[in-house]
Amino acid sequence: MITIQNFINGTYVPPKSGEYLPNYNPSTGAKYSVIPDSDSRDVEEAYLAASNAFDAWQKTSSEKRFIILNRIAELIDEQNDKLALSESIDQGKPLWLAKTEITRAAQNFRFFATAAMQFQSDSHAMEGHAINYTLKTPIGVVGCISPWNLPLYLLSWKIAPALATGNCVIAKPSEITPMTAFLLGEICNQAGLPKGVLNIVHGLGKKVGNDIVAHSKIKAISFTGGTNTGKHIATIAAPQFKKLSLELGGKNPNIIFADCDFEKAARETLRSSFLNQGEICLCGSRILIQRPIYNKFKAFLIEELKHYTIGDPLLKETQMGAIVSHEHFEKILAYIEIAKQEGGSILSGGQAVKPIGFENGWYIAPTVIENLSQNSRCNQEEIFGPVVTLTPFDSDEEALALANDSNYGLAASIWTENIKRAHSIASRISCGVVWINCWLLRDLRTPFGGMKQSGVGREGGWNAMNFFSEQKNVCVKL
Ligand code: NAD
């Protein structure tokens, strides 16, 4: 049994309560580690370490910050096998997928390491009689709270820009997937990150996560997770005027026009539906298909899913691993029941799976549902699992109306060979990320985030660097 500890002031320490929570391997359903049940005392200890480290870290040259963050990236790459195995066991995702995500976590550190060297102040001359310059300074101690679906990748997406801009961080990974964040502490020490610059506190979101958000001296919160949690966090952070970045849920449409490259659109739709068991905020969960190819597209999905391999995440051939927790497994199955009650027809999947040797794990067959009304719960609420709905449409306007008829606005993908149509739909769709003839193609420089209930603010590139900075304009009369 592995005992995870908090990482405070460069040292692994037990929680003040002395209490631990169970952590499960989703592929077997077995408890395999314990994590600290931290509380406000641990947050206070982390805050003291971070605030003591802040002055020296903010004065550390950008070149030195670059060297340390880049070293963290190199060490993550060197330890890819170990980290990926830990992520796969902890989260339930296939090992091959975990390996690519660990590579992407290293890329996050590398990207923001170089950004530290390029981050600059702006200057604006006022027609010869004055000049403005904008100072960008770190905020101080900031909180980074991340979810369980892409554990190290999403944690590094926040930590890296926060550190690159000279802040000290208190990070809280999901209590459901703590393992790679636990291993990151050691990597930071190996890379020479000064003590207290990064502190990682484990435990329940509603307890220690809440304590981080409520702490009066933690001046910014970068949060990725569910919309309801985001709403709650906003009610605590807003009255304290904290800087707040919220990356929340989605119910993303894939719009498939009859003039698309069928093979590419259909194969990529399979991937965007079921990669990581459908547990990616960017997964397309509402598949809108133009009527002339509706039946052909549906038949393709059903046929392909007959051969889908679900089971042991550590096997090379596994396409879908286990659902992250028993609670989430039950939630997804409950949504499938709701779909049936709402008149939906299950075309594929629709039930739990018990792979041989893994009968106690939490597996759900990739599920495709049709005949649901637009306002059904399964077309409106985020399920965040391997469940997609199919809906036919006739015209561009109808596709757009269906796509935009959602409280969420995170991502969309559009499949058509007609470039005018693609740009027209992209410009009118209400979401933060649009892919045309692709999915999950990410450039770390681009703004990333959602509209409506999918979030507030944008991360990525200079957006993240600016979020973690205070900007002060100085105007000089000449
Ligand atoms: P969650 O909201 O339950 O938890 C996210 C994190 O917040 C965890 O670390 C959790 O411990 C913590 N937390 C929970 N309650 C808290 C509170 N009261 N105060 C402070 N912290 C608290 O989300 P989840 O179930 O871990 O993740 C799934 C959700 O995340 C989905 O809705 C998914 O769409 C969303 N997500 C969004 C993005 C994005 O970029 N927009 C990316 C990945 C996941």
Structure tokens at 206: 């509603």
Ligand 1, atom 39, lies closest to the CA of 247
Residue 478 CB neighbour total at 10 angstroms: 8
Which residues are part of the catalytic machinery?
Answer: 247, 281
pLDDT value for 128: 82
Q: What is d(CA 184, CA 157) in angstroms, rounded to the nearest whole number?
A: 13
Determine the angle formed by the axes of helices 80-91 and 151-164, rounding to 10 degrees.
120
**What is the CA(205)–ligand 1 centre distance, in A?**
9
Nearest Cα residue to 224 out of 399, 58, 467: 467
Q: What is d(CA 461, CA 459) in angstroms, rounded to the nearest whole number?
A: 7
**354 and 373 in contact (C-beta within 8 Å)?**
no
Alpha helix locations (H) across 60-178? 62-78, 80-91, 95-118, 151-164
List, chain by chain if needed, residues with CB within 6 Å of any ligand 1 atom.
145-149, 154, 172, 174-175, 205-206, 209-210, 213, 224-226, 229, 232-233, 247-250, 281, 382, 384, 410, 450, 455
Strand partners, 387: 367
Nearest Cα residue to 42 out of 90, 9, 71: 9
Block means of pLDDT (10 residues each) for the chain, 478 residues, are 97 98 98 98 99 98 98 99 98 98 98 97 92 97 98 98 98 98 98 99 98 98 98 98 98 98 98 98 98 98 97 98 98 98 98 98 98 98 98 98 98 98 98 98 98 98 98 97
Ligand 1 atom nearest to CA at 213: 20
Q: What is d(CA 284, CA 387) in angstroms, rounded to the nearest whole number?
A: 10
Residue 426 CB neighbour total at 10 angstroms: 16
Provide the residue type at 228 as one letter: N
**What is the CA(155)–ligand 1 centre distance, in A?**
12
Q: What is d(CA 33, CA 16) in angstroms, rounded to the nearest whole number?
A: 18
Ligand 1 atom nearest to CA at 212: 20
Q: What is d(CA 199, CA 191) in angstroms, rounded to the nearest whole number?
A: 15
Ligand 1, atom 18, lies closest to the CA of 206
Q: Among 101, 155, 229, which is best to mutate for testing ligand 1, by the most ligand atoms less than 8 A from CB?
A: 229
Ligand 1, atom 9, lies closest to the CA of 174
Which contacts (CB < 8 Å, 24+ apart) does range 135-138 have?
135/471, 135/472, 135/473, 135/474, 136/165, 136/465, 136/466, 136/469, 136/470, 136/471, 137/58, 137/166, 137/469, 137/470, 137/472, 138/54, 138/57, 138/58, 138/165, 138/166, 138/167, 138/468, 138/469, 138/470
Q: What is d(CA 467, CA 246) in angstroms, rounded to the nearest whole number?
A: 11
Ligand 1, atom 10, lies closest to the CA of 205
pLDDT value for 450: 98
**What is the CA(248)–ligand 1 centre distance, in A?**
7
Ligand 1 atom nearest to CA at 236: 19
